[in-house]
Amino acid sequence: TRRELNLAIDQVQDTVPAMDTFELNLPVEITAGTTRMRRVVALTARRHRFIFPLEKAPDMVRIDPGEWILKELTFEKSLSELRYQLWYDRDVVGRYRAAEQLTRYPDEAAPVLQRALLREPNYWVRERIAETLGEIGRDAAREVLLDESVHDIDPRVRLAAAKALGHYPDADVAATLETLLEQDGNVYVQGAAAEALAAIKADGVEKRLRKLLERDSHSNILRQAAFDGYKALGDPGLLSRAPRYVEYALADGGANRLARTVMGYAMTFRETHRKKVVEVLETALDNPYFRTRSAAARHLATMGARESLPALRAVLESERRSYVRPTLESTVETLEAPPTAAAAGVE
């Protein structure tokens, strides 16, 4: 009995005067048993309906395999279709998309993802599998992370697994994350494990995070993890130490990511610990890296920190970079405005 595949493709982007529909040739690949059919369909209107004759029901349908065309595509598939695509698609992008979409089947996905892990050669797909295992939030998924993903040869996959375990607050997960923090050879994995321990509020995590402040690492990833972990805990305990970590001496080639992380941590407590937060931000104004100074100024404007006007004026007076001055000038103008006008957003 011959079958037909009816494929509906709609362009759903907003219409603007200069653009209505896109006209393009779109590759479609259909796999049915041992038959693989590749066709190119022409899109010239908002809605199209295409019919493809087949010998049997399709196992997999791919729109633009390889994703060579810039677009957003919504193409929901059944569990069986996603399983086939994850296990058998020759295209790495197709396998990645299948792993991504399996979040729609949280109760059935874990064994499908586990089998894929055991045979998947590409780290990018295994990384996405770990992310999906975290997002679906089921015990079976946690077991796959503990049994497989945290032992992956590629640190990018172990990093994703550590983050994913932050969705599972239990003793076994905490023990595994502690092992990653203490023994993994990659500092990015260690940092992710530390943040996940904070996410699950593991016993003694504050002490572990404080120890990370003493350790040098690439781009200060471990110190960043310490502040992000305390932020996840909602704990202001590092505010008194924070000014030191927005200084340029600790930039360590990471484009001052640490300083921006510390400022983000401090801003979490701007309503309850205003004086300490302002101290952190004013210290950051002295950082020679221009993006750090600009970020500090924006944070002070957000806080309405009129007490910081002398420091801001001093920085503005010495600032020679034309692309930094507008941010500083805007902050000073905002803070100099009467409080009621500033609150209303009036200059």
Residue 63 has which token pair?
């729109």
pLDDT > 90 in the chain, percent: 86
Q: What does the pLDDT average to over 342-347?
A: 49
CATH of 76-203, one of 1.25.10.10, 3.30.200.20, 1.10.10.10, 1.10.760.10: 1.25.10.10
SS3 of the chain: the string is CCEEEEEEEECCCCCECCECCCCEEEEEEEEECCEEEEEEEEECCCEEEEEEEECCCCCEEEECCCCCCCCCCCCCCCHHHHHHHHHHCCCHHHHHHHHHHHHHCCCCHHHHHHHHHHHCCCHHHHHHHHHHHHHHCCHHHHHHHHHCHHHCCCHHHHHHHHHHHCCCCCHHHHHHHHHHHHHCCCHHHHHHHHHHHHHCCCCCHHHHHHHHCCCCCHHHHHHHHHHHHHHHHCCHHHCCCHHHHHCHHHCCCCCCHHHHHHHHHHHCCCCCCHHHHHHHHHHHHCCCCHHHHHHHHHHHHHHCCHHHHHHHHHHHHHCCCCCCHHHHHHHHHHHHCCHHHHHHCCC
Q: Which residue has the higher pLDDT, 276 or 15?
A: 276
Q: What does the pLDDT average to over 8-23?
A: 87
Q: What does the pLDDT average to over 158-185?
A: 98
For the cut 70, the answer to whether the pLDDT of residue 341 exceeds it is no
State the pLDDT confidence band at 17, using cuts at 50, 70 and 90.
confident
State the pLDDT confidence band at 3, using cuts at 50, 70 and 90.
confident
Instruction: Please give the mean pLDDT across all residues of the chain.
Output: 94
| pLDDT value for 253 | 57
Query: Where do the domains of the chain lie?
Result: 1-68, 76-203
The alpha-carbon radius of gyration of the chain (Å, integer) is 26
pTM: 0.89
Q: What does the pLDDT average to over 39-65?
A: 94
For the cut 60, the answer to whether the pLDDT of residue 190 exceeds it is yes
| pLDDT value for 340 | 63
| pLDDT value for 16 | 82
pLDDT > 70 in the chain, percent: 95
Q: For 271-314, how does the pLDDT look when each residue is reduced to its tens digit (9 = 90+)?
A: 999 999 999 999 999 998 999 999 999 999 999 999 999 999 99
Q: For 197-254, how does the pLDDT look when each residue is reduced to its tens digit (9 = 90+)?
A: 999 999 999 999 999 999 999 999 999 999 999 999 999 999 999 999 998 776 665 6
| pLDDT value for 333 | 95
Q: For 107-123, how does the pLDDT look when each residue is reduced to its tens digit (9 = 90+)?
A: 999 999 999 999 999 99
Q: Which residues have a Cβ under 8 Å from the Cβ of 150 and sit 6 or more positions away?
A: 158, 161, 162, 165, 176, 180
